[in-house]
Homo-oligomer: A and B are copies of this chain.
Amino acid sequence: MARASSTGAGLLLGLIRDGEAVTRSDLVRLTGLARSTVAQRLEALLQHGLVYEAGGSASTGGRPPTLLAFNEGAGVVLVADLGATHSRLVASDLAGAPLAEVALDLDIARGPELVLGAVHERFTELLRDIDRRPGDVRGIGVGVPGPVAFHKGEPVNPPIMPGWDAFPIPAWFAERYDAPVLVDNDVNIMAVGEHWTQWRDAAEMLCVKVGTGIGCGIVVDGHIHRGAQGAAGDIGHIRVAGHDDVICRCGNVGCLEAVAGGRALAARLSEAGLPASNSRDVVGLVRGGEPLAIQAVREAGRYLGEVLATSVNFFNPAVIVIGGDLAEAHQQLLTGVREVIFQRSLPLATGDLRIVPSRLGDRAGAIGAAVMVTEHVLAPDAVDRALQTEVAA
């Protein structure tokens, strides 16, 4: 259906960012707006520093037209990809390119006040490192290891985040920065990072994170699919046949996560005499050539493959990216996944299907969060609103 979408400055900025328009004439031609209207709106973008004039181009005669370019340096965004025990913080420009970053050990179970306090401290340091001020911050992004009500920016009953349920993360940052705050789960921001930087042409993609738990980010038509309650992609609690004796922390039996997640594998290997307490230990054992560990990860790949085969028949993605701590042992895991998907899914759906390891590794989430925030604050409607506010002030 028709939408009366932006015809304001935001639309012009979008055309300039995409490289579709490099001159005033391009803007007039592409939008159908009057030249005077284009000039007026462009002036607002120039004053705001979002666009700059790059001088004349080589011309076939007459006065060369002034070229227009997007100014990625017009502000910065700050993002934090918070894991259960490790976090990565990044300050990026408005094109989503990292300018400074830091990884730190941070136990999410210490609760929101302590954790966000530490994040804010590091944000301040990052800004200082790149010689920018809090007033330059145009947006903030936070990823957390649990379900999130995206529109409110609040965690929803996150099992491994005591004290965070319904905590208003955007309000906490609003007292410190004058910028919009987006909160999403760690798997969705990872999916955005992988999609945006590696698979932009794939309209439909799944990005699976296999660590302590197991989750999946779903990309439809280039955008994250969150579902009716923001619960989409929660594949860790899909039942795997033949494991009704395995009780999951969710209260059900035979969940994928309880059978093939990092914690489950570590427990099983420990019982078998190979001490391991998390995904990283399991990966260490695989790298050390322990046959039992190799077998366990391969088997985990097969169970993951069973669930993904179902998702392939249901959703028909073009690409499945496998990432997360356990995926560091990716040869074994990927082989198990591929084995079952190609056996179980329909030829039409698997003919061109690519099943690949994550390329960004543990930076995927932070990069994805930065992209999500820049796309949000530079969306045509958001730019229209921001510039009108300035005019009114």
Binding site for B on A (CB under 8 A): 1-8, 10-11, 13-15, 17-18, 20, 30-34, 37, 147, 156-157, 202-204, 216, 218, 220-221, 225-235, 237-239, 241-242, 250, 252, 306-307, 309-311, 313-318, 344, 346, 348-349, 351-353, 375, 380
CB closest chain-B residue, reference A6: B2
Residues of B with C-beta under 8 A to A315: 218, 225, 227, 232, 314-315
Query: Shortest CB–CB separation between residue A311 and chain B, in angstroms?
Result: 6
Interchain CB contact (< 8 A) of A2 among B15, B233, B309, B353? B15
Chain B residues whose CB sits within 8 angstroms of the CB of A221 once the complex forms: 220-221
Cβ A313 vs Cβ B348 within 8 A: no
Chain B residues positioned under 8 Å from A242 (CB to CB): 241
> Could you tell me if B307 and A229 are in contact, using CB atoms closer than 8 angstroms?
no
Chain B residues lying within 8 Å of A235, measured Cβ to Cβ, are 313-314
A186 to chain B, nearest CB (A): 16
Assess the A238–B314 pair: CB atoms within 8 A.
yes
- Which B-chain residue is minimally distant from A228 (CB atoms)? B318
> Complex formed: what's the CA distance from A17 to B346 in Å?
41
Known: A32-B33, A314-B216, A315-B225. A231 touches B1 (CB 8 A): no
Contacts of A229 in B (CB 8 A): 316, 348-349, 351-352
> Which among B37, B156, B233 is the interface contact of A32 at CB below 8 angstroms?
B37
- Contact across chains for A228 and B314 when beta carbons are under 8 A apart: no
Cross-chain pairs A/B with CB under 8 angstroms, 21 sampled: A2-B6, A2-B10, A2-B13, A2-B14, A4-B20, A147-B348, A156-B348, A218-B315, A220-B220, A220-B225, A221-B221, A229-B348, A231-B349, A234-B313, A234-B316, A237-B313, A241-B241, A241-B242, A310-B310, A310-B314, A311-B314
Q: Inside 8 A of A344's CB, which chain B residues have their CB?
A: 239, 252
Q: Which chain B residues lie closer than 8 Å to A147 at the CB level?
A: 348
Count identical subunits in the complex.
Answer: 2
Q: Which of B2, B157, B316 contacts A230 (CB 8 A)?
A: B316
Find the B residue at minimum CB distance from A8. B32
Known: A2-B14, A242-B241. Is A250-B316 also a contact (CB below 8 A)? no
| Chain B residues within 8 Å of A2, by CB | 6, 10-11, 13-15, 17-18, 380
- Contact residues in B for A18 (Cβ distance below 8 Å): 1-2
Q: Pick the 3 closest A-B CB pairs, nearest first.
A: A2-B14, A227-B316, A241-B241
Q: Report the separation of the CA atoms of residues A30 and B4 in the bound assembly, to the nearest whole angstrom.
A: 6
CB atoms of B1 and A14 under 8 A apart: yes
Q: Which residue of B lies closest to A4 (CB)?
A: B30
Chain B residue contacts of A380, Cβ below 8 A: 2
Q: For A226, what are the chain B residues with a Cβ–Cβ distance below 8 Å?
A: 316
Query: Which chain B positions have C-beta within 8 A of A252?
Result: 344
User: What is the CA–CA distance of A46 and B375 in the complex, to the nearest angstrom?
Assistant: 39
User: What CA separation (Å) do A231 and B316 show in the bound complex?
Assistant: 6
Q: Are B157 and A348 in contact (CB under 8 A)?
A: yes
Given A216-B314, A237-B346, A239-B309; 8 other pairs, CB 8 A cutoff: A2-B15, A2-B17, A32-B33, A227-B317, A228-B349, A232-B316, A234-B314, A307-B310
Residue of B nearest to A241 (CB): B241
Residues of B within 8 A of A34 (CB): 34
Q: Is the CB of A204 within 8 A of B231?
A: no
Residues in B neighbouring A307, C-beta threshold 8 A: 310
Bound CA span A2–B30, Å: 12
Nearest-CB distance from A95 to chain B (Å)?
A: 13
Which residue from B31, B309, B317 sits with its C-beta under 8 Å from A7?
A: B31
- A375–B1 CA distance with the chains assembled, in angstroms: 7
A230 vs B313: C-alpha distance when bound (angstroms): 11
Chain B residues near A157 (CB-CB < 8 A): 348
